[in-house]
Amino acid sequence: MNQRVVYVMSHDSIGLGEDGPTHQPIEHLSSLRSIPNLNVFRPCDTTETIECWEIALKNKNKPSVISLTRQNLSQPRTSFESKNLCNQGAYEIFRTSDQVQLTLFASGSEVEIAISAANKLKDKNIQTKVISFPSMEIFDEQPKSYQSKILNETKCKISIEASHPMSWKKYIGDNGISLGIEEFGKSAPYKEVYKYFKLTDDDVVKKAIELIN
């Protein structure tokens, strides 16, 4: 209907932990992203949440979904920029060197996992950039030159998202690795569930070393 309706959805993915698989929406992000004319936002911290909210309010002819997690998260961005970075759909949030070998893509609660993995990879002399991906729909509207800058700096690419990975295939390419979940969740403390599905920073490091070597 081309209306400015904003849906705020909390408790996304396996971060629910003890609530079990019946309450863990593994498939919801992919389903929402398949809906035409809908912007889906998955911010990684308070700053991104405010930026995504601003975009949703300013867009007068599209509904928006803002998907939030339940667990406490770190705050990768501790100050506001003069420019709304989420307005690009995806942007570089962290880099370990001017010259990088690997790109890590992540959204929401997995951005902090990606940053932690990048720091561990640096200790192993593997330089990495981390791309926060709050909105695929908005990123797909960016100029090809910007998309190429984000996607094509490195051949090796890994996406990290605690949901079905089908949305990421077009960004990581044929040689990339998409870390996600292709079954329903488990009932356990959320950190244990992340370990079970191999979505921890150590799992990312292991996959990165395999990919590069």
Other CB atoms within a 10 A radius of the CB of residue 170 amount to: 10
> Quick one: pLDDT at residue 102?
98
Domain that residue 122 falls in:
6-72+85-212
* Beta strands 128-132; 177-179: pairing state: unpaired
Give the pLDDT score at 13. Answer: 84
Domain presence at residue 1? no
Residues of the chain with pLDDT under 50: none
157 is a domain residue? yes
pLDDT of residue 119: 98
* H-run or E-run covering 139: helix 136-139
| Residue 78 in domain | no
Residues near 203 by Cβ (< 8 Å), separated by ≥ 6? 179
Residue 185: per-residue pLDDT? 87
pLDDT of residue 61: 93
**Structural domain includes residue 79:** no
Query: What integer pLDDT is reported at residue 26 of this predicted model?
Result: 84
Contact 96, 122 (CB under 8 A): yes
**The predicted structure's pLDDT at residue 204:** 98
CA–CA distance, 162 with 124 (Å, rounded to integer): 25
Q: Is residue 18 part of a domain?
A: yes
Q: Which contacts (CB < 8 Å, 24+ apart) does range 122-127 have? A: 122/96, 122/97, 124/205, 124/209, 126/101, 126/102, 126/208, 126/209, 126/212, 127/96, 127/97, 127/99, 127/100, 127/101, 127/102
Count of domains for the chain: 1
Quote the distance between the C-alpha of residue 144 and its chain's center: 20
- The enclosing domain of 116 has a CATH number of 3.40.50.920
Token reading at 105: 């893509």
pTM over 0.85: yes
**Domain presence at residue 80:** no
